[in-house]
Amino acid sequence: MKTVLVLAPHPDDAEFFAGGTLARFAREGARVVLVVASDGRRGSFQEEPETLAARRAEEARRAAAVLGAEPPILLGHPDLELDLLPAGLLRQQFVRAIREFRPDVVFAPDPLAPDPHPDHRAVAHASSDAIHFAGLPLLYPEQVAAGLEPHFVVEKYFYGENLPAANHVVDIGATMELKIAAMAEHRSQVEFLVEDVLRQARLAGLDMGTLLGTGPADPLALLAWALKIQAAEIGRRSGLAFGEAFRYARFHPLVESLLEQAK
């Protein structure tokens, strides 16, 4: 049975970027574990931060259950402050998670992908460091002394909004509805994201509900529409109904070259 570890900046990022693929892994019998760095407390136009953080934690637990994943590990760092944490803290926490769960597969934000969100950038670089160096016994020797042995992750799926080096598309035709259902559990974030788009649309003089044929702007309907459009465009390039794209990596390029020659 494979173990899949997901390193995510916010409670909804795993589902948004890789929900269909994670649901597919879970259906195939994999153990799926999500580690979420921030509490999402600033993603609202109305709610108070502490109330929102508690709500998003509960939503994350329900969404993980929809995917077939274990209850998420919530590190609880303040939203929009991951870049302000003590230097190396996220890397240390991610190395600990890799050594504890010893995953065959890790999903993480792509440090090569441009992203305007400071939390995404912070997790991308910290997780990349952790993935590449969790196998070194002299890094965080106190973890090794506590019984967390060094671990090399073979399969890496790097995700993001814009992936300049994407090289792998996963067929999520059978799990597209699960991805939508899992994202729908993040109701507070869906409402926030949709409201942000609607505010911009109103400034542009557009009525999104009328344009999309959804009537009054229903956040979940707009979410499902947007996710399907995105997944259909990714899938179309590979002849699939719906897909999710990643930068996929395994071994050092020299090792990969030798494997290719050995075929």
Q: Is the pTM of this model over 0.75?
A: yes
Number of domains observed in the structure of the chain: 1
Please tell me the predicted confidence (pLDDT) of residue 219: 83
Q: What is the CATH number of the domain that holds 230?
A: 3.40.50.10320
Please tell me the predicted confidence (pLDDT) of residue 202: 85
Please tell me the predicted confidence (pLDDT) of residue 194: 83
Please tell me the predicted confidence (pLDDT) of residue 217: 64
Structural domain includes residue 258: no
Please tell me the predicted confidence (pLDDT) of residue 231: 98
Mean pLDDT in order along the chain per 10 residues (263 residues): 97 98 98 97 89 96 98 97 96 98 98 96 98 97 98 98 95 98 95 86 80 67 90 96 97 89 87
183 phi and psi, to 5 degrees?
-65, -35
Q: Give residue 240's domain range.
A: 3-253
Structural domain includes residue 263: no
Structural domain includes residue 242: yes
Q: Which parts of the chain fold into alpha helices (H)?
A: 13-27, 49-67, 89-101, 118-133, 141-145, 176-185, 187-203, 208-212, 219-236, 253-262
Structural domain includes residue 168: yes
Question: Helices then strands (H, E): number in the chain?
Answer: 10, 7
Please tell me the predicted confidence (pLDDT) of residue 154: 97
Please tell me the predicted confidence (pLDDT) of residue 81: 96
